[in-house]
Structure 1
Amino acid sequence: MNNIVGLSKIGLVRKQNEDRFFISDNICAVTDGMGGYRGGEIASTYAVDEIKEYLQSISTIDELSLVDAILHANTRIVNRVAREERLSGMGTTAVVVAKVDDKLLWASVGDSRLYIFRNDELTQITTDHSMVQQLLEAGEITKEEMFKHPQRNLLTRAVGVEEDLQVDSGTLSVKSGDRILLCTDGLSGYISDERIRQVLHDIEDNTEVLDALIDDVYNAGAGDNVTIIVGTI
C-alpha cells in the first residue's frame, strides 16, 4: 500500500485514549478498548501488540492468518483477565487488514470498521457487532437513528471477553488507486458515510484526509476518541 497514514486523538469528553493502531508494511490494524479506566487501554494495547507480533512471526499471510492473530490476542487477554480480577470486563474491538498481491485480506470483531473507496463510491466492508446494528437489521431503527441511540456503544462481540470468539473475515480483489479507510466508532459514530466519501472524493493526499476528518469529528463534539488509517492501493 502507498501513502498509508494513521492518526489517533483523544476526544473532548474522554480522559484517556483507549484507541490504538499499527501500520507495518502492507499490514495495519485498529483497536478500540472498553472496560473503564485502564482496562480498555490495556486491552486495546495488548491486542495491537499481540496481533502485530503474531503476523510478523509467520512467513505467509492469508485470510486465516488474520483470524488466527485476533484469536491469539483474544486468548492472551482472556488469560490476563483471569489472573487480574481488577481487569474483569475489559475487551476491545479489532479490525486487521493485509494487502497480498492484488488481494486485500481482512478480519474484524466489534464495531471498528473497514471501508473501501473506489470509483467515487465508499463501501463499508465490515459489519458492526453492536446492539444498534442488530436493531438496524431488524428494521427497528434507521441508519440515522444509530447516531443518537442510547445503546449505540454496546457491543455484541469483542476481543478478550470470552474464550470462544467468532471472527468475521474476507478477501477482496483490489486495484491500483483504490483507497482503504479503517476507523474506530469515534469517526463512524459521529460522521456520516456520505461525509467520509465526500472528503475522500475532494482530497487526494491521505494525510490531509486525516486532518479533515479529525476536524469534522471535533466540530461534531468529539464525544469519543477517534482513530483513522487511510491508505492507497
Structure 2
Amino acid sequence: MAPTLFHDTRNCLLVARIPNVDPASPATLERSLNDVDAALDLIADELGNSDYFAFALDMSADNEVSKSGGEFDPEYATNPEFWVAVHKQTSLRPRIAQILARFEQLLIAAQDLQRSTESLWESDEFQFGEPLATFMALLDVNFVPAYTRLLRQWDMLSEVMQGQAITLMIERHGICPEIEELLVARVAENPGQASDDQLEELIPLLDKAYGSYAGSALEQRINGSR
C-alpha cells in the first residue's frame, strides 16, 4: 500500500499516513523509507494549500495517531523505534540524512508560497521536521548538522521545544564541532526568543571547554555572525 493523505480540516492539519511500518522487520525498513519519500512528495504538492496550518507524517502502528481522533502527537507519530532500527543498519544511515534534507528543501520551498505562518509546522509545538531531526541529533552526533540546517529555516521567534532539545544535545555529545556550529546558528544566525538566555546558562560549560569562553574562537564566530 502507498502512503495516503488524511485531511483533518477541523485542526487544519494534513497528515501523510505511511502504512505497515514495522521496526521489528529489517526486511521492510527500506520499503518504509521509500514510503517516507513518497509521503513527502504528497505533502510537497499541498504546501500551497492555505487550508492547512500543519503538515506531518504518521508512521505509528496502524496509523493510530491520526486515526485516534485525539490531539495529533508528532513525536509518537514519528515512530522513534523505526528510526532506531534504521540507524542500526549502517548502510541505511545515508537515507536518513537524505530524508532530513527533504524536510529542509520543503521548508525552503514554502518560503516562496506566502503562507500565513513563518516556517512550516507539524503541530502547535513542533515545526516541520523537528521531531525526527531532534530524535536523530540526540541519537547520533553525526545528525546534529542536519538539525542545525533545519533550525536555520524554522521560525525561531516562535520557538517552543528547541532550547530544551539543544541543551540535551550538549549534555549528550559535549562541546564538539557539530555542537559549535549548532550554537552559532542558534545564537547568531537565526536567534530565537531564548537564544541569549541559553547562551548565558551555558557559559560555565563553555568556560570549562575553552578555558574561557570570553575571547574564544566560538565567541568570535558568534559575534561575527550576529
TM-score after normalising by structure 1: 0.27
Q: Which has the higher strand share?
A: 1
Larger Rg: 2
Structure with the larger RCO, 1 or 2 (CA within 8 Å, 6+ apart):
1
Q: Which has the higher helix share?
A: 2
